[in-house]
Structure 1
Amino acid sequence: MSPAWARGQLLSLVATASSLAALVAMLDPDRVATAMGLFLVGVNGYSQFYAIYVGVRLATAGLAVLAARRGDQPILGDLVALFLLAQPAGRLVAAFAIGLPNGSLFVVSGIELLAGLALLALRPRKDGLTS
């Protein structure tokens, strides 16, 4: 099992998980919002929810698929890692003001953190810093 193969598999897993999360959010937004501690109100509330929980997740999934297929361009996988790591980073900022997330969101944060760091750790290295 090479690091490139492992990174490709992880990217495919991220794509699948992000796609499924977007699908579930699209099919039952109120249930997902409640699980995340959100209460959706009015058109703007639902629009913002769909933008983040459907749009950004589908964009992450699409980028992960592209990165998995284009292993010769490691920057694509790095961008997927950045998308994944931005979420627990934002929650860490919020933790200083209101505390850490709890329940399933805490677990999701851990998975996002581990997946993002694993993608960076599995980044292919060529000639030092040139890639």
Structure 2
Amino acid sequence: MTRTRTRTWAPLRAWLRCQLLQLTALVCSLAALMAMLDPDRVAIGMGEFPVGVNGYSQFYAIYVGVRLATAGLALLAARRGDQPILGDITALFILAQPAGRFVAAFAIGLPQGFLLVVCGIELAGGVALLALRPR
């Protein structure tokens, strides 16, 4: 009986995971676009203050480069549902951010305001991707 239930839920799980991966790609792409269009506003919202060429280069590397890479990986994972490892890697990329913030929380404290909300969304999205992994 358990196997029958698992089989009936498998298409729904696959569809939900695909939708979540596509949403992840959209959100990461939009975040990267916002960072490109108004880097100062995004940086200040994240509590960063880039200084000089190196500061902005680092900002773009993280908020544009890594976000676009995550978006591309999420799209690839959504299209290749038969390879669940791609979705798992996407989830790990997403979960690496709240994990880093968790480590920083011991030294400095938890993020505040908007960044705490972002952290919660990242955590929920990454865990949901792993929870929807095909069996």
Same fold (TM over 0.5): yes
TM-score, normalised with respect to structure 1:
0.94
Match of 2:115 among 100, 105, 110: 105
Q: Distance in 2 between matches of 1:63 and 1:40?
A: 27
Structure 1 gap ranges (5+): 126-131
Q: Distance in 2 between matches of 1:38 and 1:116?
A: 24
TM-score, normalised with respect to structure 2:
0.92
Match of 2:80 among 60, 70, 76: 70
- Per-residue CA deviation, residues 38-92 of structure 1 (Å, 9 max, x unaligned), is 1110000000000000000000000000000000000000000000000000000
| Counterpart position of 1:30 | 40
Q: Distance in 2 between matches of 1:40 and 1:52?
A: 12
- The 4+ residue runs of structure 1 with deviation greater than 2 A are none
| Counterpart position of 1:123 | 133
Q: Distance in 2 between matches of 1:84 and 1:28?
A: 23
Higher Cα radius of gyration: 2
Deviation at 1:17, TM superposition (A): 0.1
Match of 2:66 among 51, 56, 59: 56
| Counterpart position of 1:129 | none
Q: Distance in 2 between matches of 1:72 and 1:12?
A: 15
Counting aligned pairs with the same residue, the percent is 78
Q: Distance in 2 between matches of 1:59 and 1:45?
A: 20
| Counterpart position of 2:28 | 18
Question: Tell me, what secondary structure is at the counterpart of 2:19?
Answer: helix
- 1:83 counterpart = 2:93: yes
- Cα RMSD after superposing both structures: 0.7
Matched length: 125
